[in-house]
Each structure stands twice: as structure tokens, then as C-alpha cells.
Structure 1
Amino acid sequence: MAWNEPGGGRDNDPWGGKNQGPPDLDEALKKLQEKLNTIFGGGNNSGGSGGGSSPAAALGGLGALLVLVLVAWGLFGFYQVDQQERAVVLRFGVYHDTVMPGLRWNPPLIDEVHVINVTKVRAAESRGQMLTEDENIVDISVSVQYTVSDPANFLLKVKSPELSLEHALESALRHVVGSSKMDQVITEGREQVAVDTQQRLQDYLVTYQSGILVAKVNIEDAQPPSQVQDAFDDVTRAKEDRERLKNEAEAYANGIIPEARGSAQRQLEEAQAYKEQVIAKAEGEAQRFAELHTEYKKSPRVTRERLYIDALEELYADSTKVMVEVEGGNNMLYLPLDKLLEQRSVSRPSGSQDIDIRELTDKVIEQLRRDSQISRREGR
């Protein structure tokens, strides 16, 4: 049965007491006020019969609370900006200032501070298939390194700077690759493609006022599609062979040309030396003939015999056998010069061969004279 039904009994009172009604609201408020007064330095009014708090005590407690709130508010406004950072201050949501490194203070709830690292090198990548100027498709992968040059523009001018950078990078790369041939993109022109892409990307970012400075653009990978990779490798190897053969030909030319020039120079110098030798010999012979002619005028007979003897000496020097026909007779005189020289060399010490030849020549001449005289006598 319900607590308020007849016969329900007094023990069923929901307020927890016997013969008690609902609690007094004024009494509850009074107890709450007394507790507040106790907390903020107030106390019960000794002169009042109702125990109420004085207005001065209530104002004092409110002032102390306000001071505590102001101190906490001021402390929350201090912050530190490191050397590699810059702080962008927004006042009531509007750009106010860019703060340099150091200990700074801005009023909380009024200013909003965004600290941005301006020295950290950030990275972004892009990869895709692109069409070259000669209508070939290449798979190219590129990475870019960048820093924040203007924190205010980086934070406020562009909604998503990183996403804008990726889109600008892809656009710049497609423009540069579309203006280059496949060989330039894949092989020897990759460095120039990276430089051109960096310049064009930076122009885009300046136009966007993104506050980003591009530090480096690297071509990570550039190759033809996998479907034509084998054919392209064959072309690459053929080009490498061509360059190798070209280098070998240049090396051979660099070796043979100096050698030919040296040989030509040697022949020229030998010809010049032979020319000088012939001229000097001719001049010497002419001088010798002039002196001999002078001597011949002085003594023709002696000079003539001396010339004859010298001629025979020169002739016999290269001969080992001499056949002499006797004038007016049928006999042939045989002179074994080699045997005679051997005998003379045995009988005489090895000295001057010129003396032996001269003596031998004199004997031959004497023998010829005798034979000539004998032939004349027989003819008579």
C-alpha cells in the first residue's frame, strides 16, 4: 500500500523521519550561505538573531576570487618561442603580428598564438606517368624539400599548404617533362629536369603566397613503362656501345695521330740532316778538288801517280781476287789478294792494312811493267 494510504503507518514517511514534512528550502539556502562565508573569511553574525552574513564579507570573497582568476589568466598568457620558430599572433581571429624568438606574452582568450618551425626541412613526393615531348610515356618519381619562409602566409593565405605544394609540384613536373624528350628525362637530362621543375614550382608557390621556399627537387626514379622496359634496355645498351666505340676510336686517334706527326717530323729532320750532309760533303769534295788541282799544277806526274795508287787502293780494299790481262799476250795474271794479305799479316804484326795494300799495289805495278817490257821484246 502507498505511504499516504490509511493505515500505511508513520514508518512509511519518505522524508526519513517521524512526523516530519518536506525540508524547509529557506533553511537549506541558509546553510549554503554559511558555508560560503566560512570559505571566504566570513562568519556567523553574532549580533543577529537570524545568523545571516554581512554584505561586506560577501564582496570581499568575490574580490579575492576575481584576483585569483586574473592571476591565472595572466599566467596562461606566457609562452616561449625557440630560435628555430616564429609565432603568428591572431587577435580576435585577425592577423596581428609575427613574433620573433624569446619569452613572450599575449592575453589569453583575446590573442591566438600559432608557433611554426621555419628551419625544419619538410618533404613532399609525387609520382605518376607523364607524356614527353616526343610522345613517349615515362614513370617518374620526384621528391621536394622545402622550408617555411613566411609563417603568416603559410598559416593564413592558403588553406592547406602541403596539399597545395603537392598539386603545384605535379603541375610543374608535368610541364617540364612535357617540354623534354624521353632521353633527357631518363638519362642525361635528369639534372636539368630537376632544376627546371624547382624553378617553376617556386614561381607557382610565390603566386599562391604560400610562404614556402623550395630548397631542392630530386628526381628519384625515371624509367619507361614496364611493358616496354626490355626494348628500352636494348636501346640503352646500343647507345652505351656507341659511346664506348666512339671513345675507343678517339683514344686510337689520339694515339696514332701524335705518332704519325712524330714520324713525319723525324723524316723531315732526317731529310734536313741528309741535305746538310750532302751539301757539306760536296763542299768538302769541291774544296779537296780545288786543293788537288793546285797541287797537280805544281807536280802533274807525282799527283797523277798518287791518284792512281789511291784508286787502286780503294778498289783492292773490297776485292779478294784480281785478274790482270797482260797487254800484247795471251796470259792472264791472277793475284790472290786475300792469301797475300793473310801471309803479310802473319809475317808482320797486325798494324796498318793501308801499308800492306800500298806495298802490294807497288808490286803489282812493277809486275805489270815487267810483263809489258817482256811482251814488247817478244814482239820485236
Structure 2
Amino acid sequence: MGWNDSSGGGNGKDPWGNRGKNPDGPPDLDEIVRKMQQGFGGIFGRRGRHGSGDKDGSSFIWILVALGFAILVLVDMTYTIDEQERGIVLRFGEHVATLQPGLNFRFPRPIEEILIVNVGQERSLTHKASMLTRDENIVDVEVAVQWRISDPHAYKFNVYAPEATLHQATESAVRDVIGKSNLDFVLTEGRSQVAQSQLKLIQQIMDDFETGILIIGVEMQAAKPPDEVKAAFDDAIKAREDEQRLVNEAEAYSNDIIPKARGRAARLREEANAYEARVIAKAEGEASRFEQLLTEYEEAPSVTRERLYLDTMESVLVDTNKVFMDTEGSNNLMYIPIDRILKDSSDSGRSSTRREFRTESSNPSESQPADPYSDSRSRGAR
């Protein structure tokens, strides 16, 4: 084969096996890799003779690998915790610290591991069951419990299944509280009190087991009798409502009638007191008048009798319209129409009549006997 034989029989090599330059063929891959290694070796270190370029290329690769590993380790050592979260640091499985929100550092895995616990999230648990009340009635209840994690370490390590423990504690508390209450109390006004008692009891159980759970609230979402007896309970509730309505109406009537009765009683009491005072005053006045008449009668008996007679006749005849007079020894009956006389007479006539009557009264000896009582008795009439 010739020196410059470029045919396919020698594969482009010289007699010693070296590849010659072939400007028409593709570039040599080995040559390209060798040149890249030499270039990187010139950057990171001085290239020596007798194969030092290959050694420098291998060192560069290991440096890149080490640098990438260091970056990964640094990223793994930093950890950011949100505001509502807490981080539990485990070093070879043992709890060593609890991380607060923000940027934190740790040893790389598998030396240390962080467990994230959300302490700000409010969780809810619903429990439905049929309970037996104190008065031996069955009621279907549905309870919703709102809770959150208060102690991350206790929540993760003190209890194997915290949520299952909470569910069992809720069922136990509901049965205990419902079993101590009457059915009417649970269905009507006692629902809020029952829920509050359940909250206290559930929280006490959680604290006794050190679960790290805080009970936020308990709500009685439903409390009703079973469907089989619902109609009877509806009738009982309606009767209770009617009873309360009648009681309210009776109280309203009582509030209306009692003040009126008290006012009427006070008015009657005042009228009775006034009547008592009036009767007593009248009796005292008559007694005083009688005493005065007695004194006058002792001084002038005839004059006093005449005066009493006239006063009595005046009081009797003041409202009389007709007067009949019987004369002594005669069968004639005298009729005096006083009503017509009073109606026809004028004011002047009445005044003159009064003056004449007064004149005649001033001289009783001339117009009538001195003792009218004796005359009337003798005639048999007054």
C-alpha cells in the first residue's frame, strides 16, 4: 500500500496505524474530546506533558460533582415554615426542637428530618348517633366539633391516632350529657347548655390524654325523636305550645284586671271614708242642734214647739203640689192648688205674699190660737 493511499482498504491510516488527515471526511470525535479536555485543563490547572491533560479533565468533572452536591446539601439544610405551621425536628428519630414560622436551618438528611404540623387550621368532626335520655326516651342527635392543634409535639407523639381519640371522646361525652338530661330539655331550651357541657367534657378528656388538641366549639346541629314516634312528639310539642299560649293570655288578663280592681277598691275605700265622715258630721250636727233646741225649749217651750211645727210643715209641703184642708165641724173639703198658684204668681207677688206672711207671723195671737198643738189635738188632727 502506498504512503498516500487514501482508498478504503487502509481505513485512511498510514502504515503504522495512525489516522491521517482527510479533509473530505467527518471530524474525528476522539480529537474533539481531547481538545475539550485540554481546554478545560488550561483553565483550572497547568497542562503537563505525557498525558497530564486527561488527568486534569477528570479532576474538573469531580469538582463539578462536588459543587453540585454541596449546593443540594445547602438547599436541603434550609427550610421555610409558614405562619400557621410549626416544624418538629427529628434527629435520628428523636425530637430535638420545634421550629417557628420563618427561615430555619437543620442538618441534612438523613441526620435530621422535619415534620410539618398546621396549628392554625380549624378542623371539624361530625358525630351522629341515637342516645337514651334520662327519662328513657330515644333521641337522634348530630354534633359538630370544631378543633385545632395546640401542641404539635403532643399531637404527633403522645397519642397514636389523635383524631380517632377525639371521635371516641366526642361519642362518650355526648352519651354522658344526653343520658343526664330529659328529652324535652334536649329538644327545646336546653340545646345550648347541652352543647356547652359536651365541650367541657371533651376538652377534659383531651387534656387527660395529652393529645395536644384544643376544642374550639361544639354545636348541636340536630336533635329530634326517631321517625317512628315523630307524630306523637309533634302533638306533644303542639300541646306544650298551646299551654304556653294560654299561660301568656292568662298573665296578660291578670296584668290588665288586677290594676283595675285595685283602682276600684281604692275608689270604693275613699268613698266609704267620705261617707263615714259625712254621716258622722251630720250626726254630730244633729246632736248639736238638738242640744241647742233643748236649751231653747227649756227657756221658751211654746215658742220652740211652734217653731218646730212650722219647720216640719215647711219640709213636708215644700215638694207638695196639692193640699187638702179639713175644717172643723164641716163636711166641706178645701182644695188649694199650690202648683198653679206658684206657676201663675210672679216674683213680685211671691215677695208680697212673703211680706204678708211675715207680718202675720209677727202677731200670732191675732191670727191663730196661742197653742196650735193643743188646738190640733183637740180637733184630732195636726
TM more than 0.5: yes
Q: Give the RMSD, CA atoms, in angstroms.
A: 4.1
> What is the match of residue 175 of structure 2?
174
Q: How far 1:176 sits from its partner (Å)?
A: 1.8
> What is the match of residue 254 of structure 2?
253
In structure 2, what is the Cα distance between the partners aligned to 1:135 and 1:324? 100
- Asked if structure 1 preserves the Cα contact closer than 8 Å seen for 2:88 and 2:153, the reply is yes
> What is the match of residue 186 of structure 2?
185
Residues 267 and 45 of structure 1: CA distance in aligned 2, closer, same or farther (over 3 Å) = same
Alignment-mate amino acid for residue 90 of structure 2: L
Could you report, residue by residue, the CA deviation over 1:16-72 in whole angstroms, capped at 9, with x for unpaired residues? x9xxxxxxxxxx999989967866855784421575425xx8667645643553344
> What is the match of residue 49 of structure 2?
47
Alignment-mate amino acid for residue 201 of structure 1: I
Residues 312 and 95 of structure 1: CA distance in aligned 2, closer, same or farther (over 3 Å) = same
Alignment-mate amino acid for residue 47 of structure 1: R
Q: How far 1:308 sits from its partner (Å)?
A: 2.6
- Asked if structure 1 preserves the Cα contact closer than 8 Å seen for 2:126 and 2:144, the reply is yes
Residues 49 and 157 of structure 1: CA distance in aligned 2, closer, same or farther (over 3 Å) = closer
TM-score by length of 1: 0.75
> What is the match of residue 129 of structure 2?
128
List runs of 5+ in structure 2 lacking aligned partners: 1-7, 14-28
Name the SS of the counterpart of 1:162 in structure 2: helix
In structure 2, what is the Cα distance between the partners aligned to 1:339 and 1:160? 121
> What is the match of residue 3 of structure 1?
none
In structure 2, what is the Cα distance between the partners aligned to 1:369 and 1:154? 132
> What is the match of residue 348 of structure 1?
347
Percent identical among aligned pairs is 40
Name the SS of the counterpart of 2:55 in structure 1: coil
> What is the match of residue 96 of structure 2?
96
- Asked if structure 2 preserves the Cα contact closer than 8 Å seen for 1:44 and 1:52, the reply is no
> What is the match of residue 87 of structure 1?
87
- Asked if structure 1 preserves the Cα contact closer than 8 Å seen for 2:129 and 2:141, the reply is yes
Alignment-mate amino acid for residue 100 of structure 2: M
Superposed counterparts of 1:188-199, under 5 Å:
188-199=189-200
List runs of 5+ in structure 1 lacking aligned partners: 1-10, 12-16, 18-27
> What is the match of residue 77 of structure 1?
77
Q: How far 1:173 sits from its partner (Å)?
A: 1.0
Name the SS of the counterpart of 2:121 in structure 1: coil
In structure 2, what is the Cα distance between the partners aligned to 1:355 and 1:47? 178
- Asked if structure 2 preserves the Cα contact closer than 8 Å seen for 1:326 and 1:368, the reply is no
- Residues 187-196 or 68-77, more deviating: 68-77
Q: How many residues align?
A: 343
- Asked if structure 2 preserves the Cα contact closer than 8 Å seen for 1:125 and 1:141, the reply is yes
Name the SS of the counterpart of 2:181 in structure 1: coil
> What is the match of residue 66 of structure 2?
66
Name the SS of the counterpart of 1:125 in structure 2: strand
Q: How far 1:219 sits from its partner (Å)?
A: 0.7
In structure 2, what is the Cα distance between the partners aligned to 1:212 and 1:312? 110
In structure 1, what is the Cα distance between the partners aligned to 2:366 and 2:336? 11
Residues 297 and 366 of structure 1: CA distance in aligned 2, closer, same or farther (over 3 Å) = closer
TM-score by length of 2: 0.74
- Asked if structure 2 preserves the Cα contact closer than 8 Å seen for 1:34 and 1:53, the reply is no
